[in-house]
Amino acid sequence: MKRKILAVLSIAVLAVIFIGFGFTKNIEMEKEYQRAMDRGIEAVKETDYRAAKIDFQDALKRKQNDQRAKQTLKQVNTYMDAKKQLSQKHYQEASALFKQVAVQDDGINVLIRRASSYHTELEDVVQEQEAFNKLYKQAADLSDAGDYFASNQKLSPILEYQQIDRSYYDTIRTKAEHLKESNDEYLRIYGHKPKM
């Protein structure tokens, strides 16, 4: 009888130990998950997006299928893609990606604000570039037709634009400057003074 009681008690003690171990392990995994999420959010605040990506991936390892970790990882990846497009001067694509980040529900607030700011700025840049390219084409056509003075007038809004020295406009500014120099040279040769 004592043996049966001792066996039952031993089994009960072992069960409590295993249950406690499982519970403790679960609590520890939750803490590790939360630490990884916190590190990731802090890395985003410090603009260290690669570290943030690693931290959110780590959080997903701790808590697979966690929607919050999946969303934040997706948000950071999309933001990094947008920054890459921006560095490659693909402004329209970058703007669209920043918009995706900005409208994502339950995202990281600081990233939403940054993406929203970039999106707004790039929308303006894309519109300005379209207008400048149209003006440049008209100026080039006028120059090809020999109307150098009118060509320079078409270039004026581009070259006098207050923010033309920003890197967004490097290509169009360079093209406009070269065309204006060429027009000015023709105007000098034919005895006309360039007005600009």
> In whole angstroms, what is the distance from residue 37 CA to residue 167 CA?
35
pLDDT reported for residue 106: 82
Q: Where are the alpha helices (DSSP H) in 88-108?
A: 91-102
pLDDT reported for residue 183: 95
Average pLDDT, integer, range 173-185: 96
pLDDT tens digits for 128-142? 999 999 999 999 999
Residue with the larger pLDDT of the pair 92 and 193: 92
Residue with the larger pLDDT of the pair 13 and 85: 85
Residue with the larger pLDDT of the pair 87 and 10: 87
- With 0-12 / 13-18 / 19 or more C-beta atoms within 10 angstroms meaning exposed / middle / buried, residue 105 is exposed
Sequence-ordered list of residues with C-beta below 8 angstroms from that of 37, at least 6 positions apart, any chain: 55, 56, 59, 68, 69, 72
Residue with the larger pLDDT of the pair 11 and 46: 46
Average pLDDT, integer, range 160-178: 95
Sequence-ordered list of residues with C-beta below 8 angstroms from that of 182, at least 6 positions apart, any chain: 143
Q: Give me the domains of the chain, ranges plus CATH numbers.
A: 1-65 (no CATH), 92-196 (1.25.40)
